[in-house]
Amino acid sequence: QVQLVQSGADVKKPGSSVKVSCKASGYTFNRYDISWVRQAPGQGLEWMGGLIPISATPKFAQKFQGRVKITADDSTNTAYMELSSLTSEDTAVYYCARGGVSGSHLGWFHSWGQGTLVTVSS
């Protein structure tokens, strides 16, 4: 079955960067979008961006353009999300999620990682 396992919780200083990993198994990694969705405390779900590994061309939410980098390593079936210039407003649980339709950014999120808490604090 599809499984996404994320890296552990992290604490970062304002102005720094964080990199979260998401190791996938149980499906053909290259063919499906891996998106990143975050939930800040008391807030709803927010899509940040996604990448279909075989295309290597990510899509980003306008809010995060220029500040987020999404990559994938198909030799290890692992996706990465790196967010830079962190502020306290970036404190959130970050989820990776696999798309539901092969080769498409337009679909649903079929499976989710367990979430990674990133705390930004001085």
Partner 1 sequence: QSVLTQPPSVSGAPGQRVTISCTGSSSNIGAGYDVHWYQHLPGIAPKLLIYANTNRPSGVPDRFSVSRSGTSTSLAITGLQAEDEADYYCQSYDSRLGGSVFGGGTKLTVL
Q: Could you list the residues that contact partner 1 (CB under 8 A)?
A: 35, 37, 44-47, 49-50, 59-62, 95, 97, 100, 105-115
Question: Which of 15, 47 has the CB closer to partner 1?
Answer: 47
Contact 64, 116 (CB under 8 A): no
Q: How far is the CB of 116 from partner 1 (least distance, A)?
A: 11
Q: Which of 91, 97, 90, 94 is nearest to 112 (CA)?
A: 97
Question: Which of 4, 18 has the CB closer to partner 1?
Answer: 4
Question: Which of 41, 87 has the CB closer to partner 1?
Answer: 41
Query: Which residues, in sequence order, are bridge partners of residue 19?
Result: 82
Question: Which of 103, 107 has the CB closer to partner 1?
Answer: 107
Residue 110 to residue 26: CA distance in whole angstroms:
13
Residue 47 to residue 21: CA distance in whole angstroms:
16
Query: Which residues, in sequence order, are bridge partners of residue 3?
Result: 25
Q: How far is the CB of 26 from partner 1 (least distance, A)?
A: 15
Strand 68-73 versus strand 92-99 pairing type: unpaired
Q: How far is the CB of 48 from partner 1 (least distance, A)?
A: 9
Q: How far is the CB of 15 from partner 1 (least distance, A)?
A: 26
